[in-house]
Amino acid sequence: IDKPTYNITLTCKVCKNRSSHFMSHQAYHQGTVLVKCPGCNNRHLIADHLKIFSDTRITVEDIIAKDG
């Protein structure tokens, strides 16, 4: 049985490279997800429910809402 996955397409703010990445539903909603830009190897935070990078749980949706 296939596990539910998400596909995210993003544009790196550092090198302007556009790339797509897959992640599991469980990782996005319960874990910490970083994706690496294939253009410049910069890492982008997508979700942090384990509070590794901040004191609160955060997702890319929260980051976009905050930054516009």
Q: What is the pTM of this model?
A: 0.84
Average pLDDT over residues 12-27: 96
Hey, where are the domains in the chain?
A: 5-67
pLDDT score recorded for residue 2: 74
Q: What is d(CA 65, CA 19) in angstroms, rounded to the nearest whole number?
A: 21
Give the Å distances, CA to CA, from 30 to 3, 5, 22, 67.
14, 13, 15, 23
What confidence tens digit (pLDDT) does each residue in 57-68 have? 999 999 889 886
